[in-house]
């Protein structure tokens, strides 16, 4: 199976256009991360109980609308889904992320998808032995169960929306 699978295209222009107004929300690490949907503090199972951070979602109407649009489009493709962790990641020019591999029950139940909101030709993602530079607007599933990294060899920061989702289990009723 391929390590990069484009799933769907979602118009991202409104969200991409609103990024500059919200750059102050990112942390100052490398990469710069902006958490959006995180496990609820004190929950026993960080796989089931998630909350949107008010500090991120409070006044960012474009992000809230965009996540609703992605959910609707993804559900047309896969059936009902639930979001897990969601964050926005900004990678500055010249930065290479360390190689990582995700494992465990959470990642076994979730699909990790990336969507470039702002990119440049020097951005490269690597998963296993495959490399890709997903185009803006394409929601792309990435296999994070094999060694992964990303590098920005361009002159401008790149910004990706990262979402984990899983198929919603039917309820007995």
* pLDDT tens digit sequence for 23-39: 777 777 778 899 999 99
Longest CA–CA separation in the chain, Å: 55
pLDDT level of residue 42 (50, 70, 90 thresholds): low
Question: Does 80 map to a domain?
Answer: yes
Question: Does 161 map to a domain?
Answer: yes
- pLDDT (0 to 100) of residue 143: 97
- pLDDT (0 to 100) of residue 44: 57
Question: Does 162 map to a domain?
Answer: yes
Question: Does 138 map to a domain?
Answer: yes
pLDDT level of residue 45 (50, 70, 90 thresholds): low
- pLDDT (0 to 100) of residue 49: 85
Q: How many domains does the chain divide into?
A: 1
Give me the sign of the Cα torsion angle 5, 33, 101, 66. negative
Question: Does 109 map to a domain?
Answer: yes
Question: Does 99 map to a domain?
Answer: yes
Other CB atoms within 10 A of residue 72 CB: 10
Q: Give percent of the chain above pLDDT 90.
A: 77
Other CB atoms within 10 A of residue 85 CB: 19
Q: Does 43 have pLDDT greater than 60?
A: yes
Question: Does 82 map to a domain?
Answer: yes
Question: Does 173 map to a domain?
Answer: no
Strand partners of residue 150: 125
Domain coverage including residue 41: 4-167
Model confidence, pTM = 0.91
Q: Mean per-residue pLDDT for 5-23? A: 91
CB 38 within 8 A of CB 55: no
* pLDDT tens digit sequence for 105-158: 999 999 999 999 999 999 999 999 999 999 999 999 999 999 999 999 999 999
Q: Does 68 have pLDDT greater than 60?
A: yes
CATH code, 24: 2.60.120.330
* Average pLDDT of the chain, as a whole number: 91
- pLDDT (0 to 100) of residue 1: 67
């Amino acid at each position: 199976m391929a390590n990069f699978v484009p799933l769907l295209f979602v118009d991202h222009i409104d969200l991409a256009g609103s990024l500059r107004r919200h750059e102050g929300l990112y942390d100052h690490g490398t990469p710069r991360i902006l958490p959006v949907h995180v496990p609820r503090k004190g929950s026993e199972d960080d796989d089931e109980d998630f909350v949107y951070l008010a500090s991120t979602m409070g006044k960012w109407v474009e992000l809230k609308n965009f996540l609703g649009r992605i959910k609707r489009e993804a559900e047309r493709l896969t059936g009902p889904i639930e979001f897990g962790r969601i964050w926005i990641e900004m990678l500055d020019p010249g930065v290479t992320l360390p190689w990582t591999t995700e494992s465990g029950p959470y990642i076994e139940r979730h699909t990790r998808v990336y969507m470039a909101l702002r990119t440049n030709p020097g951005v490269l993602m690597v998963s296993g032995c495959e490399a890709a530079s997903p185009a803006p607007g394409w929601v792309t599933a990435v296999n994070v169960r094999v060694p992964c990294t990303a590098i920005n060899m361009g002159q401008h920061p790149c910004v990706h929306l990262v979402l984990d989702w899983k198929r919603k289990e039917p309820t007995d009723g």
